Structure 1
Amino acid sequence: MNLPFLLLKRYQFLFFLSISCNRCTKEFIERKVLATTYNPWLFSLMASATSCILFLLIFSLAFALEAARPRQSNITLDSSLHPSTNPTSWLSPNGRFAFGFYPEGAGFSIGIWLVASSENTTVIWTADRDDPPVTENAVLKLTQEGVKLLQNSEWRLISKIYTSTDAFSASMLDSGNFVIYDPNFDVIWKTFDHPTDTIMAGQVLPARSELVSSVSETNHSSGKFHLKMQNDGNLVLYPVASSDSPEDAYWASQTDRDGYQSLNLDDDGRLYLLNGNVTYSLRSGFRNGTTLVYRATLGVDGIFRLYCHYLKLNKEQVLAEIPEFTDRCEIKGTCGVNSYCTSTDQQVVCKCLPGFDYLDTSRTSSGCTRNFTTSGCHSNNDNTTYMSTLENVNWMVDAYSAPWLVTSKEDCRDACLKDCNCDAALFQESTCRKQEFPLRYGMRDTDDYTTTFIKQVNISAGGRPGTSHAESPAAAPIITTKRKFSAKILLVSVAVIIGIISTLAALMFFFYRYQARRYRRMWRNKEPALVDEIAPRSFSYHELREATDGFMEELGKGAFGTVFKGTLPRGQRVIAVKRLEKVVDEGEREFRTEMRTIGRTHHKNLVRLLGFCDEGTNRLLVYEYMSNGSLADLIFKADGHPDWDERVRIVLDIARGIHYLHEECETRIIHCDIKPQNILMDDNWTAKISDFGLAKLLMPSQTRTFTVVRGTRGYLAPEWHKNAPISVKADVYSFGIVLLEIVCCRRNMELEAEEDVVTLLDWVHNCLMAGELEELVPDEVDMIELNRLVKVGLWCTQSEPGSRPSMKNVVMMLEGNVDISLPLTAGFSS
């Protein structure tokens, strides 16, 4: 039954009801003259007329309220849109807003825009904003499940537009809100609940929600900044590529712990925080009008702006900016890592550190990377390193050791030069701080007297120092000493050289084939352990098939593929061969580059990558073989558990390995699937992390699937469920769960256990609060050490990523080097 038919039936009912009531009223008036002779007739007629009129009023009121609901259900099921043929969009009743396809890049994106004029439109919402644009052959359709997209002959739901109950119709409202109704015309989905970079008048940004800026004015993918309405009542601006800690914020409303639950924009243009009936005004109201439209957008530059659109005049005005910085370099994250920001006349320029080049020369704000490579640790004992100097640039201080007082700049420089772990040093007012790369939030400031020393490598060390930066010191001149030779000595020398060359040529002629065969045989049989000091070895598919006896013995199967046991010929070295599934269809060069990135990771708590195969469609990785299985086999077995000291040592092994991936790798790696099954034990029962760095090799479709559930249920951080940006703090949460499993020798979820101990996280927290930690462990343990490990585990599993410690601090807490306060209520087990 469609909407016009329903309305017709309602009007018919009211029409006949009105006729009946009119008849009752007429009969009452005609018989009123008989009231003096026959009072019962008067009484019954009055009652009839009164009931009829009251019934009519009730139905009229109900109909009026129903009609007043802003549903404008002009979009019925199976209505469709096309990018290049009409209809391309669904308009709101007043024609100001449209939902549908809009041009972007070489194709079309799906979203909502404000139609100020045919030449002036403003995108306010985008669906699946990080997916590539669709082609002109795409089709958008409203179905019972939500809005579906036809692309490449396949239908799929738009990820942000799906409903839990059957949809009946939809509307593009005059407020800029696209809504979907059920058969009772109740709203079951709306874009106002899923903002991208903009909120409109009447829209609310609740606690734990955020706005994420766009890449550019013409590319509405997720950009570099986000505005978070935090659960503590604080509205904060952060760079996306950060841990969202207080040090990362470049503006905050300073309303934490005041209980504010939402950010609001009203029809008068007032922007404020709300807690019940209490408001905190961020910007004053302006005025209301039928031709005024207000919006607040987080711009590509990280500024949150309040706009007013004057539709009659076809123009827009910026009414307020948050924050009101005169220098755009004060916005943290404007320039990427290992670069610093300078500004002249509001023009921002990002410059690389000495010895660094831009990651992307077309986007100089994306950050910089070293333009030389290092081999081993250089402490300047053989003059292999030197320090470049940069003045008047301040950075976010993230020193790996405590600052100390020095008497001069030279002392600070020399201390870093002699320290293998030191990449840079900051000197200011007789204080020196050692830093590791990457350096963040660099800003040129003539009033800041910080001196930055950056470690460089000489050509003699095998590196390639940068020469394109003004700050780089000139290469040391090569001094040559002229020697005078007499004619006689010169002739003798030439004769000797000719004789030697002739002899060598004869030897090469006779032994060339023998030597060539020998070298080829040596290279083919060389152990990966000797080759991978430079880079992982490239194997052929035939070699690995023979080494695994046709992939006969399966060791295990995981999210990335199947692992087989194998043995290399001659050397008889046992290996583990992982055959990857659904890897990215990329070129040979890109795959080899990725393998060398993973292969350069060197840490005793990481499983070593020995080699790889990228032959045809075959993608295989060769790892060192771990003879003692996984951590899961060790701690979850029923017939025994490791003793307490062994469990503490394993926890530290894992923590140090994750710390290396997060902060000490040349390329930072987020594991995304820390769990006991991915912690393997070698011959000496040393714990080593496996499967790190493989997520980036997955197919795009598999990546999108894992955006919702990447990793393993039970170890997932809460932000996986919120479509929030994922940082290294997701690994910290998973580590916290694994730590508690090791301590208690049980899984994080045991459905057969008693009700109050089913979830490990809740049980541990309750025992800590009740002072009953001894209930957690199956054996006698050091209670002081147990208390420390439990607190670390609960801090790691905090719901908010910013409340979790870094892995550097986790290692320090586990080693007992810092005091640990009582943790807050831990996060939930996913």
Structure 2
Amino acid sequence: MGSSSYIYPSLLFTLFCTISFPCSVLSGPISYNSINPNFTASYLQFIDNSGVFLASKNNSFQARITNAKPESESYYVVVTHVSSNTIIWSANRNTPISKSSKLRFTNTGLVLYNDTEHPIWSTPQNLSTLSSLQLHESGNLVLIDSENNTVWESFDFPIDVMVVGQKLKIGKSLVSSLSDEDLSEGGYKLVVGNDDAMLQWNEMNYWKLSMERNSYINTNFPVEYMVMNSTGVYLLGQNGEQVVIRITLHNSNDLLANSSDFRIMKIDHNGVLSVVKIGASDGSSNQEFKGPIDNCRIPFICKKLGVCTNGGLCQCASSFRVDQKSNNGDCVPVDSSLALSGSCNETSLLSNATKIKYLNLRNDLDYFSNEFTEPLTRDVNISVCENMCSMNCSCLGIFYSQNSGSCYMIRNSLGSMFIKSSSQRDANRLGFVKMLIVGNTNGDDPNYKNTDFPILALVLLPLSGVVLIAVVAILIYLGKKRRNKKWGKSTKSKLGHDSKFSSFSDEEIEFVSIPGLPVRFAYEELEAATEFFKNQIGSGGFGIVYKGTLKDGTDIAVKKITCLGSQGKKEFLTEIAVIGKIHHINLVRLKGFCAHKGQRYLVYEYMNRGSLERTLFRGDSVLEWKERYEIALGTARGLAYLHTGCEHKIIHCDVKPENILLHDRSHVKMSDFGLSKLLSPEESGLFTTLRGTRGYLAPEWLMSSMISDKIDVYSYGMVLLEIIRGKKNSSTSPSPQSQSDISGSNSLSSSGESEQNRLVYFPLLALEMHEERRYLDLVDPRLMGQVRFEDAEKLVRVALCCVHEDPSLRPSMSNVVGMLEGGMPLCEPRIESLQFLRFYGRRFTEESTLGQNNEQQNHELVMYRQQQQTSMNTSEYNSFSYLSSQQVSGPR
């Protein structure tokens, strides 16, 4: 293959095959070690070879398109170890394909397509010109450029397995699969940290490499990566020259006999990390290492609140029984009037629960995370610990140390329990599970905590009398007066950073007394995290957003409030006091705040994919229909929670793609809702200030009319139309041939364009296509062939119902969620309440025509307003007046 006399005929033959038989280029025979560009593979093309299209030089490893089990219809592009049939890498573990899906290798990279020819996975497409795809004897799949450099390798993107010669770098992880049949990411992972390697479940540690008895530990150097060979498992630093932690394998003393054996490190779907040796001659397997050794240390081995004994036998804790309804192995309270407290995102039970009760676990039980976390607080009594849990929606239970008064909190997820040993760090911890009282119960039960009763009263009432209260009030008044005087002097003298509060003004001191505040960050901490506010990632009406990284490695988004105005302090207090208490999977979480020298900062969780606006309108790749649907549903759930799931009704007032943020795995969260008007459940007052963004503003903003949560529904409908189309509603694009006339606007097409190429306002086009039931004509053309008719119909009809001119005809966001989920029938758009879109459409066409002058535009607006006012006397719905083209919520 290296001679020039062979290369040119080979290229001619390949070109001939490409032209004559495009579906079978290089299909069939297995390539060894290397493949050249312009290669296509599918399972059907290589079915005779069991899907294998590339093998390493000695056939120790194979790249293939295969299913995890013979009976499965889910296929994956994988690299396997031949003798053990172990999958060591997969390109598409979370997105299986069919047997006809294609993998293509070109000189720009590898791309995997689904049946509709839509790319679902690829290597980076900005690589230098590639010359070959190679599979090494180590199992590493690599891309080689024209200068023989490795520019991409599968070893850098591990799944649940690591092999000899592979480096697992700091920050990287092995993530378990859901099962042997499903390669999708599960709940367990092995993470390499700065000084150790940890096993985690739901971000909580349950085992460390340094815990092994035969481990060698040297903490003088930070860890850079993990490797494995025939002698042991190593954490290395100093460019691989220093061993930080070493675990010696059981059979490493027989080095010569085992030098050719194959070893893998794998975290299985049950959360066990193991090193297994595969015999080179007979393919036999032998486990050389396991962590944790005790299966009862695995967080979810006995499901929720199960007690693990004797290495894996399970039973429910006292006062609990196996849940017969769900049949999933979880334990539930024996008392039917009690229910387990859900996480912050699970609010269905909270609405019916008025009290909290703590069930005491057996005294000999402990929880896996207690040994790996510091207590939330120390030197407190058990009532304080319970009260702290009651106030925290993420808290599901507590452990309390009788020796030190330490309070440990179980957050977000409940796992299994195990029987503690006398050698544990704190053998006197007592466990309590947080329960919601949802049925009738004895009001005299002393074990419940009423969440409506102020904690301050619990502390003060037993101690107080009329005289004592008076004395306390006087002392508080005098103390406050002295503090104010002291602060006035310190401000004038401009004290430095040695004074803890020297950088705050008098009004900022009030933040300290606001109940329910999240974490208060020091300005210096945010300054260091953002590298002096260098990395700006966004901006909006209320401030600039910077990306930062805290000392523990957590990425954050810091909003610097720059446009406070007369309502600045009120807006800021609303943001931190109210939104800090709100937790929902589809709402961006406020992690904390900072006030420094009159400047305010809000610290949010970081969403690594940015806004929907950037991804949908300016992204390099096309959002698939499934992901668009999940984004639409997640946004609807977030808004529904703001409207009906909170203690106070919150109207967002600025729903738009810029305020919809995306994270990994299509997680979608609403942002900036804390800057909206806050209403109590019974309040229905009026706004005095126009809020929102043109193009998404509901018509009622333009009248002195009552503003309700239906303005968010309207804005959501406009966003939903943009999700369907993949472009702004007001952007120009040719429309499909329609049988109907766009309100007589044909004559207004710009520059004499044909009917097919006229400029249209997309919401109006959606109305017309709905009337003709041509829903697929509205879908993003880049998704052609991927969307079913009924799926397109669902989103279009929901969107049109949301943008009804009459607010009373718009569905609630809860009903929108029900329609998208399929639990409610689809609404039917009311054409009479969508006629205003024809005016908007005409205005858009006029404004796109250079010859239309302002006087003529204003005349049209006046005529339309008069028509609308006249029709109000005969119409069954309210029609709103429109003030000017600068105020309408329509296009531009």
TM-score range, shorter chain: 0.3 to 0.5
Larger radius of gyration: 1
Normalising to structure 1: TM-score of the pair?
0.46
